[in-house]
Chains A and B, each alone.
Chain A
Amino acid sequence: MTQGLSDLDTGPGRLQNRLDTVELAASTPDDEQPYAELGLKSDEYARIRDILGRRPTTAELAMYSVMWSEHCSYKSSKVHLRRFGDLPRSAALLVGIGENAGVVDVGDGYAVTFKVESHNHPSYVEPYQGAATGVGGIVRDILTMGARPVAVMDSLRFGRADAPDTARVLPGVVAGVGGYGNCLGLPNIGGELLFDACYAGNPLVNALCVGVMKHEDVRLAKAEGVGNRVILFGARTGGDGIGGVSVLASETFEAEGPAKRPSVQVGDPFTEKLLIEACLEIFAADLVTGIQDLGGAGLSCATSELASAGTGGMHIDLDTVPLRDSTLTPAEILMSESQERMCAIVEPDKVDAFLAVCRRWDVLATVIGEVTDGDRLTVDWHGERIVDVPPRTVAHEGPVYDRPMRRPADLDDLQADDPAALPRPTTPEELAAHWLAVLSSPDGADKTWVTEQYDRYVRGNTVAAGPDDAGVVRIDEETSRGIALSLDGNGRYARLDPYTGTQLNLAEAYRNVAVSGARPLAVTNCLNFGSPEEPEVMWQFAEAVRGLADACRDLGLPVTGGNVSLYNQTGDVAINPTPVIGVLGVHEDVRTRVSTGWRTAGETVLLLGVTRPEFGGSAWASVVHGHLGGRPPAVDLEAERSLGQVLAALGREGLVTSAHDLADGGLAQALAESALRHGVGARLRLDGDPFTALFSESTARAVVTTTDPEAVRATAEWAGVLVTELGTTGGGGPDAVLAVEGVAELPLAGLRAAWGATLPALFGTPEATVGSVPAGTVPTS
């Protein structure tokens, strides 16, 4: 597709062609233009002609096509996402949906901004760079708000763990997330790693970044003040990912074929680190009036969004943009997705100071234009006008579709296929075998293989990271104020019922934040779905949004922003609808946080919450029977809220020594993880049917340990939360066991071997002893 542009357009080195100026466009109204190849529908193209009163120039066509793509315009999702904006105004929300990321008041004058973004398709094409630039992009979004980025998380989904393509994609994605985040100096504090055949060919790589600032430091992306300069700073512009936005987000791979695969963006985390430090120095000296990062759609997006959000007028001299590749045409420069670039609006008398900070950090910075009177965005190329558009029509007034929706035809059959009919384990041997199967399945297994590749310690404020349920970061060393974050999704639940499934995902993230002892405060999301042009997918999407909005209203939480990734499908087959939900909570004092593992023998193990026989979409049904059917567990947000209040109170008062939420794999998974964390076992007794007790995925439950069970019981029962005593933690050491009366005596050593071996067996054991001296022969100097 860039080929089509190059034929028409010109730049240095292509002098035999003509430059498509505004003047030329007005005088050649009937020239044919490759709008369809750029992903525009004929009525969209007609609307552009209508807006401009002439045919667009090639550069204008490039801008409209990328900005009106699904990825940039949210044209299929917008009508549904309005539900989030309609939620009651939350006092904690300082900046809401519409900016690069929402901003939340976390107390003491601190504000936190956080957001998740997908980089799914690029990570399939080139796993390392796709994932790396995904991290880079979300970090710049957070930086743009005026915040110092303080941590990242990653939510990853791949095809079957044993599929050959997973072995290609997963190691690259993990190395890319780590390679970029580690080099940037941001701790990775948690996330997800899950497998399902539906993600083969459509892996999901969702990255979250969280940043912290003071209230007064919040920055917005708008261009105001006639005469203010537009400064482009960061990396030079090259041919990276040209057209990637529109092509990647508007067509499926099969339709596209490998020949049209756009060039991959390559990340440079070192430059991004310099950009972060330079920006924070620039913010501290109050040198900008507006700022925007360059992500998808590059300069087209940054200039039109800044102008559109401001007073509307802006002029750019495009030939001043520093290039890495001198053969780029003007349209290509406007569309380039070269990474590690930002655009700032700076008052003329602050330009010198701005450039000085950039020089100090070795960051290239160039004045490329200025804010103008009026409401047109104009772009010149060597003195000739190639763009003259009303920026709002590019950035904010793109097409909006209310696409047809239809409940999936197979949903009734799927929901009727109740897992109650599946054969259940009856003997203790079978129960133990199923327990081990769930625990050692790729979804349930130890994730150390991944998390060891991420720096969790850098910046020295990480209080908790995976495998804790929530990541916890201290934001003030004096007061120990901190935040907790969790990122959760469950495509199986959402496939069975997207409305309920999305609420369950929110409930899990909420619970994970609550078990750390934090008070949940705000929600973000990344909605990964198939093609919006399929009515059944569109129905799933609308139901998911409705479910999330309703649940947020019930819990009194604002949605601060989010990201939509559509067209995650291969041919006719869409992925399971996969809303990934992030919940942010606040710790008044992170020293009172609660972590997941058992540490000491002789403590009482208590289950909080009610267990019902609920197996639809469960890990047990999936792992043991390869079954997906029935209805997901019931949502009870009132119970979640009560549980959250109890957990926060228990943490604050120091009444529990550990807490772990119950989710995928139910009590079986939670008990094993709690025991394996520090190698401390337990002797437990389960009331009623042991199968239901172990494998049900009823919500609003957590396991806690305490030395004061009566106090815990009193606190929980006061809030109406059921407390069931399970038993007592036992000793550690090599003989430690997780024993459940009448079910199993599982030696922790064996459990750990099964749990820990899965990912290394699939993706390779890092051989750690190259060059070392065998044990016992180490010289002592």
Chain B
Amino acid sequence: MPRVVVDVVLKPEISDPQGQAVLGALGRLGHDGVRSVRQGKHFVLEVDGTPDRAELQQIAETLLANPVIEDVELRLPTD
């Protein structure tokens, strides 16, 4: 069954306290080379038949993400 991956991340202009907390922890653990952390969500969808990119884009933008603050990135098996 084809698997479609949708990554949802906060828009760059929206601050991300969870990512900041991870970054802080990395600093305390001595990983000074990490400059930035943005935390997001990763969805894996199993779909029947050939995935319809337009339909999946709509699913991603209208339910999986909140377009006010989040961006989506869609990955189909053909990508």
Residues of A within 8 A of B (CB): 770-771
Nearest-CB distance from A687 to chain B (Å)? 53
3 A-B pairs with CB atoms under 8 Å apart are A770-B15, A770-B17, A771-B15
A771 to B15, CA, bound (A): 8
Nearest-CB distance from A150 to chain B (Å)? 33
Q: Which chain A residues border B17 with CB–CB below 8 Å?
A: 770
The number of inter-chain residue pairs (CB within 8 angstroms) is 3
Chain B positions 3-18 with a Cβ under 8 Å from a chain A Cβ: 15, 17
Nearest-CB distance from B25 to chain A (Å)? 12
For A770, the closest partner residue in chain B by CB is B17
For A767, the closest partner residue in chain B by CB is B17
Residues of B within 8 A of A (CB): 15, 17
Nearest-CB distance from A773 to chain B (Å)? 14
Nearest-CB distance from B71 to chain A (Å)? 20
Nearest-CB distance from A511 to chain B (Å)? 42
Nearest-CB distance from B13 to chain A (Å)? 12
A770 to B19, CA, bound (A): 14
A771 to B69, CA, bound (A): 15
- Ranked 3 nearest A-B pairs via Cβ: A771-B15, A770-B17, A770-B15
A770 to B17, CA, bound (A): 9
A770 to B15, CA, bound (A): 9
Q: Which chain B residues border A770 with CB–CB below 8 Å?
A: 15, 17
A771 to B17, CA, bound (A): 10
A74 to B17, CA, bound (A): 46
A6 to B7, CA, bound (A): 37
A770 to B24, CA, bound (A): 15
Nearest-CB distance from A770 to chain B (Å)? 6
Q: Which chain B residues border A771 with CB–CB below 8 Å?
A: 15
Nearest-CB distance from B4 to chain A (Å)? 23
For B14, the closest partner residue in chain A by CB is A771
Q: Which chain A residues border B15 with CB–CB below 8 Å?
A: 770-771
Nearest-CB distance from A363 to chain B (Å)? 23
A464 to B15, CA, bound (A): 37
Nearest-CB distance from A521 to chain B (Å)? 46
A770 to B14, CA, bound (A): 12
Nearest-CB distance from B15 to chain A (Å)? 6
A47 to B37, CA, bound (A): 59
Nearest-CB distance from A123 to chain B (Å)? 22
Nearest-CB distance from B28 to chain A (Å)? 12
Nearest-CB distance from A429 to chain B (Å)? 39
Nearest-CB distance from B27 to chain A (Å)? 15
Nearest-CB distance from B70 to chain A (Å)? 17
For B20, the closest partner residue in chain A by CB is A770
Nearest-CB distance from A132 to chain B (Å)? 19
For A771, the closest partner residue in chain B by CB is B15
Nearest-CB distance from A766 to chain B (Å)? 11
A770 to B20, CA, bound (A): 11
Nearest-CB distance from A659 to chain B (Å)? 42
A771 to B10, CA, bound (A): 16
Nearest-CB distance from A164 to chain B (Å)? 13
A422 to B52, CA, bound (A): 80
